Structure 1
Amino acid sequence: MKTNKQLKRGHTMRQYLLSGLAVSAMAFSISSSMAFAQTSNGADNDPRDEIVVTGTNIRGTEIVGGSVLQIGQAELLESGRSTAADFLRELPSNFAGGVGMADEPQNGQDFGAATANLSGGQGVNLRGLGALSTLVLVNGRRQANSGQFGDFVDISVLPMAAIDRVEILQDGASAIYGSDAVGGVVNFILKRQMDTAVTSFRVGLATEGGGTEFIGSHVQGFNWDSGHAIVGAEYQHRDNVESTDRDRYANGSDFSAFGGVNWPEYALHAAPTANIFFGSGGSLAAPVGASVPVGTNANLTGADLILQTGGTGNTFNVFEGRDILPETERYSVFGSFDQELSEGITLFGDALFTRRESLYEIGYPVVALGSLHASSPFYITGIDPALTTPPGRGDPGGNIAFGKVVTDRIETRETMVDHYSGQIGARIDLFSDWRLELTASYAQDKQARNSKLFRNGFSDVSSPIGCALGHANANDCTGTNMIAWNPFSTDPLSQAQLDQYFGYENLAYNSKTTQFSAKADGTLFALPSGDVKVAVGIDLRNEFIDGVVDVNTISVDGLTGPYEATERDAVSVFGEMLVPVIADILEFSAAGRYEKFTGSGEYDTFDPKFGMNFKPMSGLKFYSSWGTSFHAPAMRFENDAPQPLPGGNAAFTLTASRFAPCNTTLITVNPIVQAGPNCSFTLMINSGGAGPGVLKPERAETFTLGFNAAPESIPGLKFGASYFNITVDDKIQRVQSELLDQILTDFFASGGTDTFGGALLVNPTEAEAQALMDNPKYLGTFGPGIFNAAANVQMIVNATQLNIATLKEQGFDFNFSYDFESGGTDLGVFTNGTYLTEYKIQAAPGKDFRDLLGKFTAVGSPVALRARSGIRAKRGAFDGRITYNYVDSYECDLCYVPGTGGVPVISATPVKIDAWNTFDLDIGWDMSSIGRFGEGARLNFQIVNLFNAEAPFLDSGSGIDDSLPGAYDPTNHTIIGRTVALQVTKTW
């Protein structure tokens, strides 16, 4: 039933190779013709005093009080990862919880393209503090924020061929850069100068199926007496990876083979051959009383039904037709230049354009909450009343509640992002060593998501499918000419029905960041110990996001309209001073930045930072720093204007799809569904932005103490370690709707004292519930239209954002490398990692801290240890590297496990999630010895996850009310398995 989807282009490997040969020929032609324009002595002005490293604004100095991790292009190439985003996911200090690689079939709010991450982007989350608490820069400049809420920077738009190096500061740096630099800074430095041209091709695949990939790039350098430039392009195409190609989902949500729950026995009771529920039905856990026979079934009677015992009925692999990774195509073009206009004045600039398109197949429509009304021509005459719904809230009852999977057409989401960014600036030598730098930059992400979905809306208001099922509210259906649907037929739908029953949900967002900066730096005065250097400057920034929605899937009438625009300005002034106290031994730095926001969010802050370097001997440095940082709430969090989608600024009621222990005293359950020890209850979801003035900025205090050593007596040996301590007050936490299952489990298991209790309004008054129902953003009820009055609401979940009180984190970063020669072979060993000793959260002032280190949680928490180690060797034309990746074991305190008879129950003791050990292999060959074509050519054969280690199994328990239960933790593991790739790089 899987369709052959190729982004409407029908690519094959043969076409990839032909394209590659064509680009190679063109590249060779260009390189040969341009060789005369490249002078060997052009643009040789690259003195160290012009370089500004990440973490300081002063030229020609190293960072004081910290250490910057530099990852060069060679290391990126040898990693086996095809994109910088995938490489950074393996960085020990980068926690994938937040926005990671979109290899989660649930496509959650921060992983795939289902909701807020509408274009399926990838971000960075240093220290596990959140994607927007990590500042992402390109050539030191801010980028446009991505996603529906503008709460991360999408690094998947950056072509690998354009990157010269990545500089990572794992320390707070708001004193240098302003907002968002809480967990650290990731600065992508793009190529600016090349003496030659470089062409590269890469082909790869996943050995378990899918993921066939081709990447081709060409970068051309130009040099002349007064400047230099580069231009380049990169193309990527990757096929989709299907869920059912992986053992984890081969049997659908039956996880019994892995020690988990057989969820089809206790949860989703829908199949292509429909099941009919006892009583009200309408939930994933509703017991099945009967199923229908195979056939047209146009005139079924009660006697024709197949009675079911055990409450399960027909089942279906809900992961069938659903992608783990989408098919993706990306085009990038980029360039940069430096031009000396006159002595002491240099003009510089760079630009990047990327278009990334993805096609997600998201499975077959599941009608888990279907209700056939008595007015339908396909109503089953003589049906047992026990198989029909009771009356309630103006509904006379007698409806037939059913579960059905529609296998006529797979639902899809096509996503696209157009990324534009660039800067233009001038360096002007003033006097002595003083320099003024003026820079203007612009970045824009134009995102779109176009979905083709089943038009199944809410059960107590008319939806297109409701009309086709004979909905009682005829007024809303009048004039729609909906063809009556027989959900009990196993015959294919007609083309006319497909055209009516499947609709569209199209979203578009436009995010822009404009930045102007002026900075001057140089020597203030001289001391006997050296020059006192300073940098001062001003920074102006404008951020803007707007959007539009066009949807006809949740209501009879299509809805079209703009998402309210949000815009804000930020003005900041900053300064930094470096003081050498003892020449070449002891130096101090002090920095400060004042930043003020106006518009969508009114904030201002001053953040200082102080640092020290102490070098008692050559090859040994101790360093320490203290400072404060802050993170302003994403400005879309300030907006709560109505948006007509469950994932937007909306509110709705759930009556039969969220559960509590039947014996809980915290709320009153309703009688709609009982699934083992759990009963349904009525709650309301209030999603989207928190609203204006609700959130406060995060404010952090950071302390670092460490050392780096490179003993002269042992050439090639380098090692270091650092201790960090971070306290974040008013930590901003998004309460994501798809993680609500575990949040509720935590809430009831903890007696109502869990971390996110502040987002749960328990036992609201009838007036509080009614006020939300009367709000323009209220959409209606999901589930049976009974027990959904304001008086029935037991909980209001503010699935927006909130400030929790405090987060405390401390731990150690460490690194070691030793390169040496033995018997004509260059050898090396290396390791680096992050070891956490504390990660705990206080939900509100006065409450106890909750230890989340090494715990599986709804929003993701880091493990205690992540590390990368390996060995490398080079002999003659060959070199190789084996890398060992380690993710520590951890625990799930509130996971579901099979109880007596297989019934899902919460584990009485923590469930251990095993450590994950994977190996990567890279073998390189310098092909210079094989003739003219081999000159400057290099071949790399790479295997990621050499032994195909499976992600540790984790049954998160979401299957109790989620048709797609999780079977692993995507914040710490991937499910892609082994990938192999061959890459050829030619330097002309």
Structure 2
Amino acid sequence: MTFHPFHAPNASSLSLAVAAVLLLASAAPAVAQDAPAAGSGATTNLDSIVVTGSRLRRVDTESANPVVTVSQEQIAATGKATVGDLLQELPSIAGNSTNPNTNNGGGTGASTISLRGLGDKRTLVLVNGVRLAYNDVNAIPATMIERIEVLSDGASAIYGSDAIGGVVNFILRDRFEGVQFTADFGTSSEGDGNRRNFSLTGGKAWDRGSIVAGVSYHNLDAVSALNRDYSKDALYLSSGEAVKQGSSATPTGSINFNDGSAASDALAAANGCSRVTLNSGVSGATGPGDFHCYNAANDSYNYQPYNLLQTPQERSNAFALATFRFTDNIEGYVNTWFSKTESASVIAPIPIFANGDNFLVSADSYYNPFGVNFGTDRTTGVSYNDLNSRATVLGNRRYEYKTDNFQISPGLRGGFGSSSWQWDVNLNYGRVKQTSTNYGFLDYASFNQAVGPSFLDVDGTVKCGSAGNVIAGCTPLNIFNLNDASSLGTLQSMIVNPVVSSVYTVKQAEANANGDLFELPAGMVGLAVGVSYREEKSTSKADALWTGDENGLCGVIEFCASQLTGSFDVKEAYAEALFPLLKDLPGIQSLNVSIGTRFSDYSSVGSKTNSKLSIEYRPVQDLLLRGTVSEVFRAPNINELYSGVVGDAPTVNDPCNGYTGGNDVACANVPTDGSYHQADGQISGKASGAEVAGYQLKPETGKSYDVGFVYDPRWLEGLSISADWWRIDLEDTITGVSAQTVLNQCYSNPASAFCALIHRNGNGTINYVAEPTVNLGTLATRGVDFSVNYRLHETPWGRFTAGLNGTYLERYDVLPDTTDPSTVTIRNGGMYTYAYGNFPRWRGLGSLSWNKDDWSASWRVRYIGKTRIGSSDLDQGLSADTDEAGVVRRIGSFVYHNLQVGYTVAPWHTAFELGVDNVTNKQAPLYYANNGGNGNTDVATYDVLGRFYWARMSIKF
């Protein structure tokens, strides 16, 4: 496919772009220079430009790097509210990505990009070739973007660390005349999820310079999971049936007599079951007769109505882009922008797990009707019976985020006299500050005292402690009837709202030069060289109560926050050369080879050199054959290096369900009579950086391969066809080990190092699973990208453009631990897992656009292929069912249709657009709560709101 980058007066677009799939042609690529009319006798002088995915300037607009470009006009025509919404539709995007639909584990308003499903940490985001300080692409004001270039080929030799899956490069506007105001409104067919966008952009260009500046405002309303049928109930797939199971942390409590003591066994026998819950309508203190046997289908807690399908956000942006030519050979420039985002996530009222939260409900509590201990004694580590509850009287938990993002990149560029050589020197400073206030949590110390020993004093009041040893300032809590009105005041006195703040800064200086070296018979040899220095630093602080110790324990019931302070610097140097070897020979229109190498020296992990080799071969003018092999690497980031222990709530299927013996390491303390069953899909996890885990990280390394062709037939002008086979192999992958992987690998091999990460209570239930960040395994993925674009000639009915881009994923294999011969490879191709995300074999994006006079219209089609949950290979340890091993749930393919129509009122300099997304109102598929973390589905892949209407007006003065 022929992709023509937009002509820019200076192309410092260290851009990148990649093969396969950017918005699948919401429009055809723009041509850099118009060719002279046939027979006109005119000649065209093509300026050399920087080829995307390379530092070299050259005349060719097609190279060994497969590139897709989307213009500012094409972005606007999609009707997407943010850049993230647009990019996450690309067929080359897979796996787990964050977006405003990520509520549990999200809520910051951010959208991240995961090319090839390798994660946002392996996708490098640039702005005018300079690293973005914050990987939230929504922070980039859409009105300052000239075009987006996406490269899904490994580019570490050109751009350094992180460019494993590829690079997304935002090229900014450098020319704009006048003032433009735009207003955008949207709402779902259910009347919710409303969005409002306003922007004002102004610019002026003159002989020696230009300036473009603007402000924008974006507002998005929350949507409750209660408002959609597929998400309103917490549904589990259990024994082949969809069960409204929810959480065992219920307002009436889930009380389990399972610590193996004689007293507990006697209580189980007396009740006729080992698990009970409080009857409805009971007030005050309770007795054994106030409880009935727990039934998950009837008694579990439906938390879904309190969760969100779309998190609210309010974002303000400002930017300024300016250039000034000091002399004929020296130009100064500065790009700067600022964004302020206020966002939130909302989840159900705080769940309370006596064992998971490490507090002890005393057998000697006045309110304990059973006379046995529940929970864990944090001092001794001894665990007793399970007791789960939920403080619904306190209302929902809320996480409110405020994020300030500032970045500025000033520089100078110019030429060396009349030579071909050009240079560029620039600085880059970015600062991101995020503060989160977390509402609805409980003070641990007060809670632990309140559920400890208590007694009825002679004055008729219940007091903490024992007769003659009263604990001052403590009010006993009836945890067995937690939501009784008498408990409200006691609980409210324990409420804490911890605050966490973090500041990340990046400082960078870079110098580049490129030009011609000497001439070969086939053309000039080009060279690009450069050096850079970058320093990154991050600091986070949390309220003392919410700061976890080395065991992840802190002063708050539920999760703990992590303190983080760390920094590193990196010095780099690179060189890239292009050698035209042959041209204008029989069967060889042209043959070029380019080589590049980059040396990186990290203060944190040492030095690394990465190189690449690319070949471009044209047997005839219409056909380009290309191939690239690159070394890639990624150095650990600050969070991976220095994060402290922090709690999370991973979704897992415990392989010890129904355990009857055979692996007493993975299933320590689990009964062997087959009666054990995991109470909740979510468990407690404790993630940490490498330093806390006592582990020395090293960079992950690998190779990237790309082989393909571009065919632009002269016999059918306007048609472009391309296909690229790609492969990426990684070693020593840096990863926070998922809880499911830990459980599965230990169950497969009791001698596995993963087993030490599992912590079970005395009754066999999972207390928590440690999830440290380590270099551990390998990752191998490969597939094919393809595209067909056709721009028809002008017809009496207007001009039509059609496009189809797609990706076929052949494999995505993860070997979690290369040190253990028994470790099972997780084969993610065509499958969804909570740990890695969604990897359908096929993804596609198609479009048909039409323009005539003042009218325009477009039809965009997004295709998500079939996928499945679970594997029939029992060694994989993956099942879609909570009760049966090896169950596979198949999810059919999905097709989304989006329509847009526009009309321009030329005399008023005004344009109107109307659009409908998800025209057929396709609802998200059921993945079930035991497999997915949000809304019973995969919010990173599917549309969650249904049909959505939008309108936009733009006026230019």
Q: What residue is the counterpart of 2:698 in the other structure? A: 696
Cα offsets for 1:453-491 (capped at 9, x unmatched): 32165xxxxx33222323589699955545645651655
Q: Is 1:969 aligned to 2:938, yes or no?
A: yes
Q: What residue is the counterpart of 1:83 in the other structure? A: 82
Q: What residue is the counterpart of 1:890 in the other structure? A: 867
**2:171 pairs with one of 150, 171, 189:** 189
Q: Is 1:470 aligned to 2:452, yes or no?
A: yes
Compared CA separation, residues 567 and 479, structure 1 to 2 (3 A): farther
The residue identity in structure 1 corresponding to 2:901 is I
- Structure 1: how far apart are the matches of 2:152 and 2:320? 29
**1:630 pairs with one of 628, 633, 638:** 633
**2:799 pairs with one of 822, 826, 832:** 826
**2:130 pairs with one of 141, 156, 166:** 141
**1:268 pairs with one of 240, 247, 263:** 247
- Structure 1: how far apart are the matches of 2:535 and 2:382? 56
- Structure 2: how far apart are the matches of 1:796 and 1:574? 46
Q: What residue is the counterpart of 2:511 in the other structure? A: 518
Asked if structure 2 preserves the Cα contact closer than 8 Å seen for 1:213 and 1:237, the reply is: yes
Asked if structure 1 preserves the Cα contact closer than 8 Å seen for 2:657 and 2:677, the reply is: yes
Asked if structure 1 preserves the Cα contact closer than 8 Å seen for 2:564 and 2:639, the reply is: no
Compared CA separation, residues 876 and 956, structure 1 to 2 (3 A): same
153-162 or 474-483, which moves further after superposition? 474-483
Asked if structure 2 preserves the Cα contact closer than 8 Å seen for 1:863 and 1:889, the reply is: yes
Compared CA separation, residues 621 and 205, structure 1 to 2 (3 A): same
- Give 1:802 shift: 2.9
Asked if structure 2 preserves the Cα contact closer than 8 Å seen for 1:660 and 1:680, the reply is: no
Q: What residue is the counterpart of 1:128 in the other structure? A: 117
- Structure 1: how far apart are the matches of 2:338 and 2:377? 58
Compared CA separation, residues 493 and 418, structure 1 to 2 (3 A): farther
Give the match's secondary structure for 1:407.
Answer: helix
Q: What residue is the counterpart of 2:276 in the other structure? A: 289
- Structure 1: how far apart are the matches of 2:170 and 2:627? 25
Asked if structure 2 preserves the Cα contact closer than 8 Å seen for 1:390 and 1:396, the reply is: yes
- Structure 1: how far apart are the matches of 2:482 and 2:569? 58
**2:844 pairs with one of 855, 858, 867:** 867
- Structure 2: how far apart are the matches of 1:519 and 1:442? 18
Q: What residue is the counterpart of 1:639 in the other structure? A: 642
Q: What residue is the counterpart of 1:590 in the other structure? A: 594
Asked if structure 2 preserves the Cα contact closer than 8 Å seen for 1:253 and 1:965, the reply is: no
**1:917 pairs with one of 866, 870, 895:** 895
Q: Is 1:221 aligned to 2:203, yes or no?
A: yes
- Structure 2: how far apart are the matches of 1:56 and 1:541? 20
- Structure 2: how far apart are the matches of 1:881 and 1:519? 41
Asked if structure 1 preserves the Cα contact closer than 8 Å seen for 2:709 and 2:723, the reply is: yes
Q: What residue is the counterpart of 2:663 in the other structure? A: 666
- Structure 1: how far apart are the matches of 2:578 and 2:709? 19
- Structure 2: how far apart are the matches of 1:958 and 1:890? 13
Q: Is 1:337 aligned to 2:322, yes or no?
A: yes
- Structure 2: how far apart are the matches of 1:165 and 1:394? 61
Q: What residue is the counterpart of 2:607 in the other structure? A: 604
Asked if structure 2 preserves the Cα contact closer than 8 Å seen for 1:269 and 1:312, the reply is: no
Q: What residue is the counterpart of 1:412 in the other structure? A: 398
Give the match's secondary structure for 2:741.
Answer: helix
- Structure 1: how far apart are the matches of 2:293 and 2:778? 52
Give the match's secondary structure for 2:87.
Answer: helix
- Give 1:911 shift: 2.2
- Structure 2: how far apart are the matches of 1:477 and 1:192? 73
The residue identity in structure 1 corresponding to 2:148 is V
Asked if structure 2 preserves the Cα contact closer than 8 Å seen for 1:895 and 1:957, the reply is: no
- Give 1:588 shift: 2.5
Give the match's secondary structure for 2:785.
Answer: strand
- Give 1:803 shift: 2.6
Give the match's secondary structure for 1:249.
Answer: coil
The residue identity in structure 1 corresponding to 2:784 is F
865-874 or 526-535, which moves further after superposition? 526-535
**1:100 pairs with one of 61, 80, 98:** 98
Give the match's secondary structure for 1:74.
Answer: helix
- Give 1:719 shift: 1.5
Q: Is 1:349 aligned to 2:330, yes or no?
A: no
**1:328 pairs with one of 313, 323, 329:** 313
Q: What residue is the counterpart of 1:987 in the other structure? A: 956
The residue identity in structure 2 corresponding to 1:570 is V
The residue identity in structure 2 corresponding to 1:546 is T
The residue identity in structure 2 corresponding to 1:294 is G
- Structure 1: how far apart are the matches of 2:487 and 2:766? 43
Give the match's secondary structure for 1:455.
Answer: strand
- Give 1:237 shift: 0.7
TM-score by length of 2: 0.81
Mapping 1:481-496, distance limit 5 Å:
481-482=474-475, 484-485=477-478, 488=481, 490-492=483-485, 496=489
Asked if structure 1 preserves the Cα contact closer than 8 Å seen for 2:253 and 2:387, the reply is: no
- Structure 1: how far apart are the matches of 2:914 and 2:68? 26
Compared CA separation, residues 677 and 889, structure 1 to 2 (3 A): farther
**2:741 pairs with one of 743, 752, 759:** 743
- Structure 2: how far apart are the matches of 1:174 and 1:542? 18
548-557 or 669-678, which moves further after superposition? 669-678
- Give 1:436 shift: 1.8
- Structure 2: how far apart are the matches of 1:883 and 1:945? 10
Q: Is 1:614 aligned to 2:617, yes or no?
A: yes
The residue identity in structure 2 corresponding to 1:612 is I
Compared CA separation, residues 449 and 595, structure 1 to 2 (3 A): farther
The residue identity in structure 1 corresponding to 2:545 is N
- Structure 2: how far apart are the matches of 1:359 and 1:794? 30
- Give 1:527 shift: 3.0
- Give 1:926 shift: 1.7
Compared CA separation, residues 799 and 136, structure 1 to 2 (3 A): same
Asked if structure 1 preserves the Cα contact closer than 8 Å seen for 2:235 and 2:929, the reply is: no
Give the match's secondary structure for 2:192.
Answer: coil
Mapping 1:556-567, distance limit 5 Å:
563-567=563-567
- Structure 1: how far apart are the matches of 2:345 and 2:729? 39
Give the match's secondary structure for 2:647.
Answer: coil
Asked if structure 2 preserves the Cα contact closer than 8 Å seen for 1:95 and 1:126, the reply is: yes
Asked if structure 2 preserves the Cα contact closer than 8 Å seen for 1:276 and 1:288, the reply is: yes
Asked if structure 2 preserves the Cα contact closer than 8 Å seen for 1:662 and 1:669, the reply is: no
Structure 1 stretches of 5 or more lacking a match?
A: 1-45, 114-118, 146-152, 458-462, 770-780
**2:520 pairs with one of 520, 527, 540:** 527
Asked if structure 1 preserves the Cα contact closer than 8 Å seen for 2:78 and 2:900, the reply is: yes
Q: What residue is the counterpart of 2:227 in the other structure? A: 245
- Structure 2: how far apart are the matches of 1:541 and 1:608? 20
888-897 or 210-219, which moves further after superposition? 888-897
**1:726 pairs with one of 721, 725, 728:** 728
Q: CA RMSD in A?
A: 4.0
Q: What residue is the counterpart of 1:950 in the other structure? A: 923
The residue identity in structure 2 corresponding to 1:452 is Y
Structure 2 stretches of 5 or more lacking a match?
A: 1-43, 268-272, 455-463, 547-552, 875-879
Asked if structure 2 preserves the Cα contact closer than 8 Å seen for 1:323 and 1:362, the reply is: yes
Q: What residue is the counterpart of 1:576 in the other structure? A: 576
- Give 1:136 shift: 0.8
- Give 1:399 shift: 8.6
Cα offsets for 1:763-786 (capped at 9, x unmatched): x9xxxx9xxxxxxxxxxx9x97x4
Asked if structure 2 preserves the Cα contact closer than 8 Å seen for 1:333 and 1:353, the reply is: yes
The residue identity in structure 2 corresponding to 1:879 is S
TM-score by length of 1: 0.79
Give the match's secondary structure for 2:168.
Answer: strand
